[in-house]
A and B are shown apart, each in its own frame.
Chain A
């Protein structure tokens, strides 16, 4: 970009280079016209802008807003300031305690479960070497005894239950009852 051209200087230089080509005083310009021009233009801009003939008053506004919008907006903003980052509202004391208790409960149950499994496997670990050292016959004997013991327990329990069931009833009464209620003579229980 070249230098700014100053019109009066340009005219003067033309006149100096070619005297008589342009009559320097052809057009009369009021004193200080150019010097004062920027201020006058700015003043006019202000006036023109104010006088701008726009067909509408500033109050004419085609936009609509939801009913009651300005009544509720204040409360909405105040609520947001209580959550400055827009994050979830902080939990109350009781909610925090409840969550902590839930974690403790789950942790406790998990711990108990772990202990029970661990103790079971500990027994197995202790038993394994002892079993390896035992003879097969000893093991067979042990298992048979164990089985008999178990069955004996069941039988004894049943006998004990039966004795309790008929406790206080004489054999004679029982015999008489069964004989009376049998549909066939072959079903006599006590001879």
Chain B
């Protein structure tokens, strides 16, 4: 089964057949693993955490795909799971570290970025990651999906369940905050 040759709809149909289920599953993983990994990684920062979350996303997909209603597209459904799993994971980490629920500065997330073995505070790429981690959760998600994944607003609306107008406003605020951060810090 060629991953590139099949559409998502065809893969879903193959997934529902017992005989081709596993092959279709592998094809779906191969199609989305990198995109989802980087989406998750930018949210949870640490590779081992991103790996755990990514695996959970695909396992949830495996369990839930039979009941997946094709009202939304497979890839927006996967992004939705990935976003939710990442946020849930961060909440667990935060709870485990007994951090305050309201941490508007998201300092602990910036500390995770700084703890990366390749972190270099003089490089702009790292400053951008620090700036992203300073954003509130929703703005961070919106910025990441739009800026890095270049996802259209209509699809982001499917992923996050927010209106297009609200997403645009959210992205605007996020971009301004990031710009300020990069100019002033």
Contacts and interface: CB of A to CB of B under 8 A. Distances in A.
A81 B160 CA distance: 27
A77 B59 contact: yes
Interface residues of A, number: 28
Interface stretch (B22-30, B70-78, B86-94, B95-103): B22-30
Interface in B41-96: 41-42, 47, 51, 54-55, 58-59, 62-63
Given A45-B169, A62-B118, A74-B29, A54 B123 contact: no
Contacts of A53: 179
A35 interface: no
Contacts of B129: 62-63
Contact of B59 (A52, A54, A55, A81): A81
Interface in A45-99: 45-46, 48-49, 52-56, 58, 60-66, 69-70, 73-74, 76-78, 80-81, 84
A165 interface: no
B38 A61 contact: yes
B115 interface: no
B162 to A, nearest CB: 14
Contacts, number: 91
B165 A42 contact: yes
B16 interface: no
Contacts of A48: 172, 175
Nearest to B131: A54
B33 A73 contact: yes
A54 B179 contact: yes
Given A62-B123, A73-B51, A74-B33, A56 B63 contact: no
Given A54-B175, A54-B178, A74 B26 contact: yes
B115 to A, nearest CB: 12
Interface residues of B, number: 44
Contacts of B13: none
Nearest to A59: B148
A70 B38 CA distance: 11
A73 B54 contact: yes
Contacts of B30: 74
Interface string B140-165: 00000011101001000000000001
Interface string B107-138: 00000000011111001111011000000000
Contacts of B9: none
Given A70-B37, A76-B55, A54 B25 contact: no
A60 B125 contact: yes
A82 to B, nearest CB: 9
Interface of B: 22, 25-26, 29-30, 33-34, 37-38, 41-42, 47, 51, 54-55, 58-59, 62-63, 116-120, 123-126, 128-129, 146-148, 150, 153, 165, 168-169, 171-172, 175, 178-179, 182
9 contacts: A54-B128, A54-B179, A62-B120, A73-B29, A73-B33, A73-B37, A73-B55, A74-B26, A74-B33
Interface of A: 42, 45-46, 48-49, 52-56, 58, 60-66, 69-70, 73-74, 76-78, 80-81, 84
Given A60-B125, A81-B62, A84-B63, 9 more contacts: A42-B168, A54-B182, A63-B42, A63-B129, A64-B118, A65-B47, A73-B55, A76-B55, A77-B29
